[in-house]
Amino acid sequence: MQYLPLGRSGVKVSRLCLGTVNFGPQTPEPEARDILDAAVEAGVNFIDTADTYGKFFTRPDVGGHPGWTEEILGRWLKDRPGRRDRIVLATKCYIECSPDINDRGLSAFHIRRAAEGSLRRLGVDHVDLYQMHHVDRQTPWDEVWQALETLIRQGKITYVGSSNFAGWDIATACQIARQRGLMSLVCEQSKYGLLCRTPELEVLPACRHYGLGAIAWSPLNNGLLAGIESLDEIARRGDEGSLKNLERHRPKLERYESLCRRTGQKPAQVGLAWVLANPDLTGPIIGPRTIEHLHDALAAVELRLDAQTLAELDAIFPGPGGEAPQAYAW
């Protein structure tokens, strides 16, 4: 495993971050625990979850509820004495977890309650990285930072990160935090991969400017870049959004599969290796549903894509043309 500092912070994280969104609704708890054990044994020390995980991707025969994934992680940590101190544990708040009108957003009222709920479900006294799951433009930044600063002072969180922020949201958050004498954000978690390169315009440059670690979520675009097996699984699930994306991108995906066959590499590994090759990225979040998915992802760390392969991938999945404004202006 390879490690990098998380942005400008001093803590070092594995270049693969283990995402847990499938744990519970898609991956039964015993298998989720096996994946967690295997990931840590392989050197993964960065584990990401959220207070709302457990209600996404639920199967009709399983059901689900917000907080389920954190509960699974909490039981795993309880049964693994000493494991807590070996991992960088991250969770998030913003998305509603109940019908309560105030159980959402980034108000100080919600941040405090959400953080305490996550700590209770995880069975820990602090989380290492607490992330805003989305920007809340209805709440003043001074209120947001006051709530986060209080949690830091209480020892309940160590670092603060963002997710799904625009470049100007990152700049605003960092500038106001600096005015308050705070370290501000250490990372941004953004949707990024061969099929979603928009962050190259402004999000990645903002991360570089402010010293944030950039973390890619859904680097394989919900399995579209994971190969024939995953495409078949998408078809079986009958997920309307994924099926539309599959049809929309089918010509590109066929060219991509052909390229992967020529290189002798699995599509999922190529997609992750492409993210890992970007010097602006700390790394991708992997969201394995099975232990086999985990092993495939781990192999991507050692995969080096040559210049010709990178050029061919750029031709199949062209980016926005560089950074703003040069990408669209003189």
Q: Which residues are catalytic?
A: 53
Residues 16 and 298: beta-carbon distance below 8 Å:
yes
Which pairs from 27-30 meet CB under 8 Å and 24+ separation? 27/288, 27/289, 27/290, 29/72, 29/75
Report d(CA 229, CA 319) in Å as an integer. 26
Report the 10 Å Cβ neighbour count for 141: 19
Task: From residue 238, give the alpha-carbon distance in Å to each of 24, 233, 235, 293.
Answer: 20, 9, 5, 21
CB burial readout 225-244, b (16+ within 10 A) else e: bbbeebbeebeeeebeebee
From the list 11, 46, 9, the residue with the least C-alpha distance to 182 is 9
DSSP strands (E only) in 37-154: 46-48, 88-93, 127-132
Report d(CA 23, CA 50) in Å as an integer. 11
Decide: helix, strand or coil at residue 20. Answer: coil
Token pair belonging to 279: 């010097």
- In terms of Cβ atoms closer than 10 Å to its own Cβ (0-12, 13-18, 19+), residue 54 is buried
From the list 306, 285, 259, the residue with the least C-alpha distance to 188 is 285
How does DSSP assign 205-266, residue by residue? HHHHHHTPEEEEESTTTTTTTS-HHHHHHHHHHT-HHHHHHHHHHHHHHHHHHHHHHHHT--
